[in-house]
Amino acid sequence: MDFYQRKELAMSTVRNLFIVAIIIVVLFPVLYIVSMSFNPTGSLGADLLPERFSLDHWRYILGLPYRDALNGEWQTSSFPILTWLFNSIKVSLITSFMMLVLSTTSAYALSRFQFKGRESSIIVLMVVQMFPSIMALVAFYLMLDFIGQYVPALGTDSHWGLILVYLGGTPFNIWLIKGYFDTIPKSMEESAIIDGCTPFQAFYKILLPMCAPILAVVGLLTFISTFADFIVPSILLKSQENLTFAVGIQLFIAEGFSGRWGQFAAACILGALPISLVFFSIHRYIISGLAAGGVKE
């Protein structure tokens, strides 16, 4: 091994150590939370490595009977944590599905037809998609409050009202999907139409299956961002059993930080794991999508 090779080896070791050190620092909160969720002490400031392994916190958040840390009695949690998770999944699923229906059809019109107002629609969509909807919070609240006086199922404290607010955010997705449609040659649909398909059949029997990857990505991205949204449900939802996971878990921990730390840790993992997995399954597409759109949401 000559001097040059040895220098290279030393440099590479240093680089690896540096990166590993950074990874440890970066992953510290994650590891800590995993450890906390199995630590029976469960208060803020417990040791990083638990002395005993316990599933009590997991039983707590899953609504199973658990042994109370203080008096040793068996009891069940009074917080509907699983309901919150279910609410979030329900709202996110419905939002993603309806978002796909609304944005694929609109994108199809903008990509495949020539009609009056097409150019200006494209410009309006492009400009408006840059405004995050949270800037119109006050209006959303007052609108749904008003609607709720007549149709309670669409008002504040309702999941459908929340979903409607999210559906206003179609432009960004129309934009993404239209971009993808534009890259697919028209010839396939055209020949199908000549063979007797209606344009609508050509749309959903030929074009949509060809675009499955982008549709999956848009659907999952919508799912993630809806699931992770805090601000809109925090102003719209009120009753405990209606809350989404984000709002519920924030209330749960804001009321008693030190005592509920272990249960909170378990709940965090339960809520984050599915989202994390979804994210890693599509993160390659996210890079290109984000690079085009510029922002996360």
Partner 1 sequence: MKKFEWRYLFVGLINVAIIAFAWLAALQGVAWISLVSVVLLAIFDVVFLLKRGYPYRYLFPGLVTFLVFMVFPILFTISIGFTNLGTGHMLSFDVAKNILLSERFVPVGSPVYELQVGETVHSYEIFLTEEQVEKKFWGSIEKTSGDFSINLQAFDHNLSDFSAERNISLLSKRRVYQLMSFLKKLELVLPGGENLYYSGISKFSAVKSRYMEHKEKRDVLVDLQSGEEFYPDMDEGVYKGKGEFLSPGFSVSVGFKNFMRLFSDSKIAGPFLKVFIWTFVWALFTVVLTFAVGMILALMLNKDTMKFRFLYRMLLIIPYSIPFFISVLIFKGLMNKDFGAFNEILMSWFAIKIPWLEHSMWAKVSCLVVNLWLGFPYMLLVLTGILQSIPADVYEAAKIDGAGRWTTFWKITLPMIMSAVAPLLVGTFAFNFNNFVGIYLLTGGLPPMEGAATPVGDTDILISYTYRLAFEGGSGQDFGLASAISIIIFVIIAVLTLINFRLSGVIKKKDA
- List the one residue out of 267, 277, 289, 279 whose CA is nearest residue 59: 267
- List the one residue out of 115, 95, 53, 59 whose CA is nearest residue 219: 95
Hey, what are 180's tokens?
């993808």
Smallest separation (angstroms) from partner 1 to the CB of 159: 15
Verify binding: residue 160, partner 1, rule CB under 8 A. Answer: no
Q: Give the nearer residue to partner 1 in terms of CB position, either 211 or 246.
A: 246
Verify binding: residue 188, partner 1, rule CB under 8 A. Answer: no
SS3 for 281? helix
Tell me which of 64, 142, 153, 188 binds partner 1, using CB under 8 A: 142
Site string for partner 1, 168-187 (x = CB under 8 A): xxxx--x-------------
Smallest separation (angstroms) from partner 1 to the CB of 65: 26
Residues 24-83 that bind partner 1 (CB under 8 A): 26-27, 29-30, 32-33, 43-45, 48
Yes or no: say if 128 and 171 are a contact pair by the CB < 8 Å rule. Answer: yes
Smallest separation (angstroms) from partner 1 to the CB of 243: 13
SS3 for 202? helix
Smallest separation (angstroms) from partner 1 to the CB of 60: 17
CA 17 vs. chain centroid, Å, equals 34
Cα angle 128, 134, 140; round to 5? 95
Q: Give the nearer residue to partner 1 in terms of CB position, either 75 or 288.
A: 288
Backbone angles phi, psi at 53, to 5 degrees: -100, 130
Number of residues that bind partner 1 (CB under 8 A): 95
SS3 for 227? helix
Smallest separation (angstroms) from partner 1 to the CB of 62: 18
SS3 for 66? strand
Hey, what are 20's tokens?
């590993």
SS3 for 273? helix
Verify binding: residue 13, partner 1, rule CB under 8 A. Answer: no
Verify binding: residue 126, partner 1, rule CB under 8 A. Answer: yes
Q: Give the nearer residue to partner 1 in terms of CB position, either 170 or 222.
A: 170
Tell me which of 122, 184, 210, 216 binds partner 1, using CB under 8 A: 122
Residues 228-267 that bind partner 1 (CB under 8 A): 228, 230-231, 234-235, 246, 249-250, 253, 257-258, 261, 264-265
Tell me which of 133, 157, 186, 206 binds partner 1, using CB under 8 A: 133
DSSP structural state of residue 107: H
Cα angle 62, 47, 65; round to 5? 20
Verify binding: residue 21, partner 1, rule CB under 8 A. Answer: no
